[in-house]
Amino acid sequence: MRLAVVDASVALAWVIPDEELAPKALRLLLAYHGNQVRLIAPSLWEYEVGNALKVGVTRGRLSPEEGKQALRSLLDLGIALIHFGEIAERAWQLAIEHRLSVYDAAYLALAEHRSCEFYTGDKRLAKAASRAGVVRWVGEFE
Q: Domains of the chain, with CATH numbers?
A: 2-44+80-140 (3.40.50.1010)
**Percent of the chain having pLDDT more than 90?**
71
User: Over 80: is that where the pLDDT of 19 sits?
Assistant: no
User: How many Å apart are CA 120 and CA 111, to the nearest integer?
Assistant: 12
User: How many Å apart are CA 105 and CA 88, to the nearest integer?
Assistant: 9
Note whether 10 and 21 are within 8 A (CB): yes
What is the average pLDDT across 90-108? Answer: 93
Amino acid 109: pLDDT: 94
Amino acid 58: pLDDT: 96
Q: How far is CA 43 from CA 4, 6, 114, 127, 132, in A?
A: 15, 11, 15, 23, 21
Rounded to two decimals, the pTM is 0.89
User: Over 80: is that where the pLDDT of 53 sits?
Assistant: yes
Give residue 26's Cα distance to chain centre.
Answer: 13
Q: Which amino acid is at 52?
A: A
User: Over 80: is that where the pLDDT of 18 sits?
Assistant: no
Note whether 79 and 6 are within 8 A (CB): yes
Q: Are strands 135-137 and 80-82 parallel, antiparallel or unpaired?
A: unpaired
Question: In DSSP terms, which residues pair with 2 in a beta bridge?
Answer: 37
- Per-residue pLDDT tens over the stretch 59-87: 999 999 999 999 999 999 999 999 999 99
- How high is the mean pLDDT of the chain? 90
